[in-house]
Structure 1
């Protein structure tokens, strides 16, 4: 006696099809059997349906791959703490790790730039971090694509180890930062820009609070009258952005008959673009053209963007016993103002050996 036919209604109900389900199934096929096995027919078989049913949710295999790539990028962790380089490093490492979990997908990422929600979100995060690091808009725009390609390549080559990945990202970021900043060139400051210079000074002071120097961070910028004297004398220069608005400035005094950098400040939003160095280069050029032989400044010796930075540029410390009268007077004023709560000293650089650029 033949058994009665089993009704279709007796089968377990299938999960309703959706784009997300098709994409997740595609990833499972990719991870199990590799990209060669990833076909619409194979995904349909896994879902116990016909291949034609999938086209309601994905247009074709390339659309499936794009959806899979975007799904994986949705898992990328967006860091919230640390400076811009640390957050960029963690963001890139998270993207590499996410892609690296699906061997064939890293190759897909290296060959396309999908315009999807999470792919665009990753690019926006990278762009925001580059801008925070002081990279100008034009450079940041192409650097985003370069970093995306780096993520895809490192995901493919992740077996080479983390040390190489760390090194290559550092080299990439250093190269981007070294790209000449947009805006510029250095020009004389105008009297109607004095308020803007004071605002730059306030912003440049804010990072001091992060190293326990709140009194310095809260100190008022030079007065309008003091800055006007520099502007009138032709010894106040700015680095303008693409719209000709100042984003950094330098004022140069004359102390002991030699040029003295009274103040050089860069808006922190543009830190790392070597704008301060360009302003100092200009002051050095101005000084050389007048037959002067050295340039001086006073600075905090233990703040990374002060003394150590100037040492890298070529400045050296002046022993207190060797300070000429003018510099000694400036130091006395600084002591009276309470600045010696933190180590501070005079520095000089020989104009003849200054390296521009």
Structure 2
């Protein structure tokens, strides 16, 4: 006697297929059986369906792998505490932990830079933190590429030694921050570049308008005669781009026998590339080579890229009662010129102990 046929309706209902279900199933197979076992046919078998059914949700095996990678990256925690370096470290650690739990997927990450939601989110987070560190957009983008490769490599060869991985990231970040900006190094300015220096000064003044300091933004740059005197005396330096065209400059005067930064300006298009810092480094090196002990300047105390910036470099404020006669004369001239409409002061930095990039 033949058994009565079993109705399909008597079987347990299958979970409806979806892209998320296909991706999660593929990830489970990858973790338990390895990347060699991960095929569309194997995923379909696990889901009790035909391979053709999967193509509604994933285009091919590479699309499945990309979806799996993005799914894992969605688990990366976004740090909120600490300075930029601490948050980069936390973000990278979390990404390595997430990918490191899936050995086969770490190899996939090493070979691709997916344009998916969570992968792009990780990249955007890194870009934001590196811009916070002062890198220009192009340098930050290059740096993210290096850091992503570091994440993938550490995930592939995860040894369990977090100290080694942290050391690698620290060395990478230190190298990124310390690598000179494109172009350079600083060199003496030429007389035929005076017009270019004036144009840099005009462009560098524009950001002052954004903080309401329109008079400063509209102020004319030093005259050709003034700049020519610095050039002739050998105390005017420029930072050139790859085509040897100046994108930043510094002129160094002498006040009461001490070197005084009369002006240091950088084209805003190169903001964040630490060109101003490297020009100041060059001026400090010049002062040291001439046996001088300190270098001075005057600055706006409340403009972020003035007083606070110089403080971070190592300059300290000079109390008005400690200003030398020459510095007092400069301050008096600035007052006549109307610059004291905004808080302004003198600063100094010791040549010995100065930390150059």
Per-residue Cα deviation, 1:168-216 (whole angstroms, up to 9, x for no partner): 655532321101221123242431442332212333x47xx8xxxx45x
Q: Which residue of 2 aligns with 1:196?
A: 200
- Asked if 1:298 is matched to 2:295, the reply is no
Report the TM-score when normalising by structure 2: 0.68
- Asked if 1:22 is matched to 2:22, the reply is yes
Q: Which residue of 2 aligns with 1:176?
A: 176
The alignment partner of 1:116 has SS state of coil
Q: Which residue of 2 aligns with 1:224?
A: 220
* Distance in structure 2 (CA, Å) of the matches to 1:239 and 1:178: 16
* Distance in structure 1 (CA, Å) of the matches to 2:269 and 2:312: 22
Residue pair 1:195, 1:224 contacting (<8 A) in 2 also:
no
Residue pair 2:252, 2:262 contacting (<8 A) in 1 also:
yes
Residue pair 1:252, 1:262 contacting (<8 A) in 2 also:
yes
1:49 positional shift: 2.6
- Asked if 1:275 is matched to 2:275, the reply is yes
Residue pair 1:334, 1:340 contacting (<8 A) in 2 also:
no
Q: Which residue of 2 aligns with 1:347?
A: 348
The alignment partner of 1:226 has SS state of coil
Residues 202 and 77 of structure 1: CA distance in aligned 2, closer, same or farther (over 3 Å): farther
Per-residue Cα deviation, 1:90-149 (whole angstroms, up to 9, x for no partner): 577557546634653366325623143228736863457646733584x55653332113
Residue pair 2:197, 2:249 contacting (<8 A) in 1 also:
no
**Structure 1 runs not aligned, ≥5 long:** none
* Distance in structure 1 (CA, Å) of the matches to 2:107 and 2:36: 19
What is the Cα-based RMSD across aligned positions, in Å?
A: 4.9
* Distance in structure 2 (CA, Å) of the matches to 1:347 and 1:114: 50
The alignment partner of 1:263 has SS state of strand
1:307 positional shift: 5.4
* Distance in structure 2 (CA, Å) of the matches to 1:124 and 1:134: 15
Residue pair 2:106, 2:155 contacting (<8 A) in 1 also:
no
Per-residue Cα deviation, 1:291-332 (whole angstroms, up to 9, x for no partner): 876532124668776557656756565454442211012233
Residue pair 1:123, 1:148 contacting (<8 A) in 2 also:
no
Q: Which residue of 2 aligns with 1:121?
A: 120
State the aligned residue count: 341
* Distance in structure 2 (CA, Å) of the matches to 1:99 and 1:229: 58
